[in-house]
Amino acid sequence: MGAQWKSKGKALVADAKGRIFGKLAKEIMVAARAGADPAGNSRLRLVLEQARKVSMPKETLERAIKKGAGLTGEAVHFEHVMYEGFAPHRVAVLVECLTDNLNRTAPEMRVLFRKGQLGTAGSVSWDFDHVGMIVAEPATPDADPELAAIEAGAQDFEQREAEEDGDAASTLFITDATDLDLVSRALPAQGFTVLSAKLGYKPKNPIDPASLSAAELEEVEAFLAAIDAHDDVQNMYVGLAG
């Protein structure tokens, strides 16, 4: 499904990992505003689990918590802003940013959207559902994603193919936005290891990539890659199926 779009290609792994750490550090700082103790801060706990899954350095992780919680004496202010519009060939896109300088981010987003179309607030988001997204992999050979979804309280699930040779296939569990933490806590008892858990957007009417020519799809992917590379972009949700 057109969930969170990710860059592809092994040659980009090192650079992509650095961007992931940077994005997670921002998420941690924002979540830590509500408290530095993950036991009493579910948002922080979920982000920390995601950071550990990608082997984020402990020093970087702890520094982000302290900075966000105001324990370092540094003032941290990130503004959350969503940009809506279309990639080439009318593919809907939601771009979620965390920025410390909106006057820098806004014009840069306008430039990036020149090959597509930047819309106004609500012009695209109406065609997406705000949901919880949990990516998990089976911890036991007999783990059943359908049964796990029912027992854990997920709304739906989608099987995902392994991205790298040797990786296990994972399952995307879709939850109500308010049930994200509850379902992520329940899945381990159903035989699944949670890899990431976050709120996101699921397209209601995704475009089938097969309806685009190879050249058109390449154009869309190049557009998305350019936006994803921007330092202020946290997440991107795309109206493509699969």
Is 98 part of any domain? no
Domain-located, residue 56: yes
Q: Is 41 within a domain?
A: yes
On whether residue 169 sits in a domain, the answer given is no
Mean pLDDT of 109-125: 95
- Three-state SS at 170: strand
**Per-residue pLDDT averaged across 62-70, rounded?**
91
Cα–Cα distance for residue pair 217/223, rounded to 1 Å: 10
Could you tell me which residues come within 8 angstroms of residue 165 by beta carbon, excluding any fewer than 6 positions away? none
Q: Are 3 and 198 in contact (CB under 8 A)?
A: no
Please report the pLDDT score of residue 196 as a whole number.
84
Length of the chain measured in residues: 242
Q: What is the pTM of this model?
A: 0.81
Q: CA angle, corner 57, sides to 53 and 63, nearest 5?
A: 115
In which domain, by residue range, is 39 found? 10-68
Q: Is residue 46 part of a domain?
A: yes
Give per-residue pLDDT as tens, 127-184.
999 999 999 999 988 899 999 999 999 999 998 876 554 456 899 999 999 999 899 9
Instruction: Establish if 58 belongs to a structural domain.
Output: yes
Q: Which of residues 168 and 123 earns the better pLDDT score?
A: 123
Residue 121 confidence (pLDDT): 92
Total structural domains in the chain?
A: 1
* CATH at residue 23: 1.10.10.200
113: CB partners within 8 A, 6+ apart: 83, 85, 227
pLDDT of residue 168: 64
Q: What is the mean pLDDT of the chain?
A: 88
* Backbone CA torsion sign across 94, 95, 97, 103: negative
